[in-house]
Amino acid sequence: MYWSVFALAALGLVFAHSLKLPVNGSRFGAILAFVLGLLVSAFAIKALAAANGIGRTTDFDRFVNAAVLETRQDGAPLIVFTGASYSRNGIDPERLTLALRERGYPHRVVNLSIEAASILERDAHLKQFMSLSERVPELVFVEVAKDFDQRAAYMFGNSKFNTRAIEQFDLTASAWTGFGILGGACQGAKGCALDTAYLGLHAALNIFNIGLIGGGETQASVAATPAYDPQSTPRAQSVSTQALERAPFIAIQGPQWARSFRHQQRQRLQQAGVQTVAYYQPPTLDPEARAYVDGLCAGELVEAICLSPNDPALMQRLNGDHWFDPSHLLDSGTAIYNAWLVDQMIASGALEAIK
């Protein structure tokens, strides 16, 4: 328990006493006093928690801690992959680092990925990693995927009212999510209404610090856990011949909210010193999902380095027992994909641009 909590409680009591109204005070005055007290208390809690480094820690924080430790092994140029479960199962940083060094590239690969991580949650923890490591990656690979682009509040389809869900919906993330919902990045009228309601509730829980003091931790107090989650046993039977299908694609632009966020994120990272921001998605058995990435690479991201997995040669090699489930790779599949990925990174010229 932090001593600051007791100090905060004492300040709260003093402040509440100062806002007492006369017995015959107006209803409006009572409501105003309550709202002011709530806002000031929320601000005080947030400020005090931030000063003590207290926050809602999640598994993502554990992954960040592990990534920070990895960067301290040497001063090699950094390549950071930031994604969701596709990347948590499909990006092995040790395997990629070794393969690159065998090819004469000194880079170190870092995986910052967790299942169901929204575009916004990933970005927040990338910034956290850069702050804690005091390193600016030379190259950042940002995962793009159809399901995350087309549902701004993706977390609500996976889980609600847990620490990760509450933690990510601060004012900035709530505004971006609201922008996405207004633009139709949700599942029909009913889905948009539900996402809007959940967004309001989660934002309120975040902004008013509900549960923060009782369950908050400092970043240093959580263990370091690597993000890569290798799997050796299939979770679901997959149809291996799907890997050979290739859906037709056309050049597309992502939804307005995702396109705007990616543009601003790219500018911000480059201003911070990142030399190259690139895009990718690990392979899945869904031809439509792969075609979506093809479309983005040929459209919205045509001027960026964009590595789509919709390569017949890659999918031919993955056409077998290499799948944890239809959307995620087993470790054997990750080995195949990562070998292909190294070739693609070198061929793209992304590594040559790193000084």
CATH number for the domain that contains residue 143: 3.40.50.1110
Q: Give the model's pLDDT for residue 1.
A: 44
Q: Is 142 helix (H, G, I), strand (E, B) or coil?
A: strand
For the chain, counts of helices (H) and of strands (E) = 16, 9
Has residue 330 been placed in a domain? yes
296 and 334 both lie in a single domain: yes
What stretches of 52-118 show up as alpha helix (H) in DSSP? Answer: 59-71, 85-90, 93-102
Counting the structural domains of the chain, the total is 2
Q: Strand 139-143 to strand 78-83: parallel, antiparallel, or no bridges (unpaired)?
A: parallel
> Is residue 275 within 8 Å of residue 354, measured between CB atoms?
yes
- From residue 292, give the alpha-carbon distance in Å to each of 82, 190, 261, 279, 304: 19, 25, 18, 13, 16
Q: Is 301 helix (H, G, I), strand (E, B) or coil?
A: coil
**Tokens in use for 107?**
């880079």
Question: pLDDT for 43-88, tens place per residue?
Answer: 777 888 888 888 999 999 999 999 999 999 888 999 999 999 999 9
Q: What is the pTM of this model?
A: 0.89
* pLDDT of 18 strictly over 80: no
Has residue 241 been placed in a domain? yes
19 and 103 both lie in a single domain: no
| DSSP classification of residue 235 | S
CA dihedral for 247, 251, 253, 259, sign (positive or negative): positive
Give the mean pLDDT of 1-29: 60
241: domain range? 55-348
* Residues whose CB falls within 8 Å of the CB of residue 142, separated by 6 or more in sequence, listed in order: 82, 83, 122, 262, 265, 277, 278, 279, 280
